[in-house]
Amino acid sequence: MKDTIRKLVREAVETAMRKGALPPEAVDSFAVEVTRAKEPRFGDYATNAALVLAARAGMNPREVAGILTDNLSRGDVIEKAEVAGPGFINFFLTSKVWRDVLYSIHHARERYGHADPMNGPKVLLEFVSANPTGPLHVGHGRGAAVGDTLARLLKARGYRVETEYYVNDAGNQMRILGRSVLFRFRELRGETISFPDDHYRGSYIADLASEIMGTQLAEDLLSMTEEQAVDAVGRFACRRILDGIQNDLDFFGVSYDSYFSERTLYEHDKVAQTVEELRRRGRAEEKDGAIWFSMDSAEDDKDRVLVRATGEPTYFAADAAYHLDKLGRGYDLLIDIWGSDHHGYVPRVRAAIEALGYSPNALKVILVQFVTLVREGKKLSMSTRSGEFITLRDVLDEVGPDAARFFFLTKRADSHLDFDMDLAKKQSRDNPVYYVQYAHARVSSIFRIAAERGIDADLTDPDITALTLPEEQRLIKHLADYPDVLAEAAESVEPHRITFYLMDLAELFHAYYHDNRVLLEDPVVKKARLYLVEAVRLVVANGLRILGVAAPERM
RNA sequence: GCGCCCGUAGCUCAGCCGGAUAGAGCAACGGACUUCUAAUCCGUAGGUCACAGGUUCGAAUCCUGUCGGGCGUGCCA
């Protein structure tokens, strides 16, 4: 809708310019901004175009606004355009526009608000990518909800999206994992071990160790060197933990197009090649026995080690190789979703990408802030040191995937999230998940009751002019916003906007439902109202589908 | 020390690519169920947008500084 109006404003600007009413240089590169009107008396939409243009044209804003409205082609879209305040132009749209909104929702259904399929940019969206050294925690869950939703949102808007999970199954931490399990295994066999502080202490480590007991692997370990044993146990543990992670993600409703193993980067010599490429481009050099990536001071504050003096590449080197590999696969854009504790890492990776000959803008990083679990009003401490923490699975088992997903998306990604366990389980207004789902269930219920009672619920040729109530108009106008919300959420990569939109829609619907009956005697009003509430149901279902949350027909 | 993010109602948060009178939910208080689900609705109250400057016709929004919170600043990942 905003696009339509934007176009009309732009045309008005061009027309006025051609007539000489506006100086041409004023409007060269000018983005028309259209917003939803805040209040009914300001119409339906507004633009600040005249205010912006006035400064450049050296004219009075209200005068510019007048010129624009004079040159505006109203067509069958705009009923009235008036200049208001300091120079806003307020647009009142025709009733035909609002009628068409309902028609197009019923026509497009689950594709309402979606863009023409698959002609947008090719995007690789990487998210979660938790190390396979332990179960997923709640923060990973938030990243998963944001990533998975974003994937569907971008697809809905025509981006060609693929999702990937980067598995850090190489290097030092795999050795630590292997040793952690191996030590527990030896303890089980009666040896006394002094367990190192920096090793993984969670109970799942001991579980893995006891799983090894009595297997072929247990026997094979006896004849291996220490290094071989650590490697073998590490691979076993990694496999098992990754299985667990995939299981949890599956339960959460999250799936990937691909998993990418860090180990394969080494097996195919990609890390060394990347370091070599950086050397060739003069961006890496040896110093103190190590190989350093030389940073432009504009990019980051210091040089970073790529290959340690021991000859072992750093995580950074592997990550540079990984991003090079991703870019080499022909994507227009890489989106990475990271925990915000990695934010210092962004300039580094971006600099590496640029040094390897790609635009630094080819990488967009979304930083997801931490989640604090709250129960009975108290924050639950997340002790990572002991390895005993509340896992994503624990939360999913307690509140269910729908509530968890929705809650993870009730805040902007970069803001701290307090996850209230009690609230997530509550079945009332306080709980936004139920509130939105209930709107869907209520509409479904109307049609169910109609069917049960033999009431005619046919929707052909509704007379929408029968929807005369102000709250009906408000509902329709909110439904009209949905495509703009999706477009803006996709463009700004902010999936939480959908959540907020749905809560607003549910609120409007519940109030309408409360005050007005749909299944009336009057066949014309009844049909029109059925047509309206079904449109509400379709949009709620549409939005929940993008969030990956169920839209139940009864609750 | 330096860098990044944050500071909006008692609480949890929207709004932040400058625009018209700063919004919502919860909690508090007061109301509404013979109706298609009360898992709902209606009303009241609640604010120096951390603070101080600056830019602008106009600042919660942009810039600078101060204070407070989080994170980062490894030849860790």
Length of chain A: 555
The DSSP symbol for A42 reads G
Give the three-state DSSP class for A543: helix
The answer to whether residues A371 and A417 touch, using CB atoms and an 8 Å cutoff, is yes
Nearest Cα to Cα of residue A509 among A546, A462, A543, A472:
A472
The whole-number pLDDT of residue A148 equals 95
Concatenate the DSSP letters of all residues of A364-409 into one string: EEEEE--EEEEETTEEPP---SSS---BHHHHHHHH-HHHHHHHHT
Distance CA A37 to C1' B48 in A: 28
Which nucleotide is closest, CA of A491 to its C1'? B17
Distance CA A457 to C1' B41 in A: 26
- On the question of a common fold for A127-267+369-425 and A428-547, the answer reads no
Question: Rounded to the nearest 5°, which phi and psi values hold at A470?
Answer: -60, -40
Distance CA A415 to C1' B47 in A: 22
Which nucleotide is closest, CA of A446 to its C1'? B36
Nearest residue to B27 via alpha carbon and C1': A430
The whole-number pLDDT of residue A385 equals 45
The whole-number pLDDT of residue A54 equals 82
CA–CA separation, A148 and A170 (whole Å):
26
- CATH of A428-547, picked from 1.10.730.10, 1.20.1250.20, 3.30.390.50, 1.10.1370.30, is 1.10.730.10
Indicate the class that CATH gives domain A127-267+369-425.
Answer: alpha beta
What residue segments make up the domains of chain A, in order of their start?
2-93, 127-267+369-425, 428-547
Nearest Cα to Cα of residue A265 among A320, A305, A224, A211:
A320
In DSSP terms, which residues pair with A372 in a beta bridge? A418
Please state the separation of Cα A495 from the chain's center in Å: 4
Strand stretches in A399-535, DSSP E: 417-420
Give the number of other CB atoms < 10 A from CB of residue A308: 14
The answer to whether residues A164 and A258 touch, using CB atoms and an 8 Å cutoff, is yes
Nearest residue to B23 via alpha carbon and C1': A38
Please return the burial class of A175, using the count of CB atoms within 10 Å of its CB with bins 0-12, 13-18 and 19+.
middle
Nearest residue to B5 via alpha carbon and C1': A414
Which nucleotide is closest, CA of A554 to its C1'? B37
> Is this prediction's pTM over 0.80?
yes
10-residue block means of pLDDT along chain A (555 residues)? 89 87 68 82 89 80 90 91 89 94 95 86 94 90 94 95 95 91 93 86 91 92 93 95 96 96 95 95 91 81 90 93 95 92 88 91 89 80 58 91 92 86 84 92 94 90 92 93 93 92 94 92 93 96 96 91
The whole-number pLDDT of residue A388 equals 58
Which nucleotide is closest, CA of A287 to its C1'? B75
Distance CA A331 to C1' B64 in A: 40
Which nucleotide is closest, CA of A426 to its C1'? B39
Chain B: bases < 7 Å from a protein Cβ? 2-6, 12-15, 17-21, 24-27, 35-42, 57-58, 70-77
Distance CA A154 to C1' B47 in A: 37
Indicate the class that CATH gives domain A2-93.
Answer: alpha beta
Distance CA A369 to C1' B28 in A: 31
Which nucleotide is closest, CA of A315 to its C1'? B77
Distance CA A511 to C1' B42 in A: 9
Distance CA A27 to C1' B52 in A: 38
Distance CA A457 to C1' B21 in A: 44
- Which H helix or E strand runs over A15? helix A2-18
The answer to whether residues A546 and A498 touch, using CB atoms and an 8 Å cutoff, is yes
Nearest Cα to Cα of residue A431 among A469, A402, A457, A453:
A402
The whole-number pLDDT of residue A497 equals 93
The whole-number pLDDT of residue A28 equals 57
Which nucleotide is closest, CA of A517 to its C1'? B36
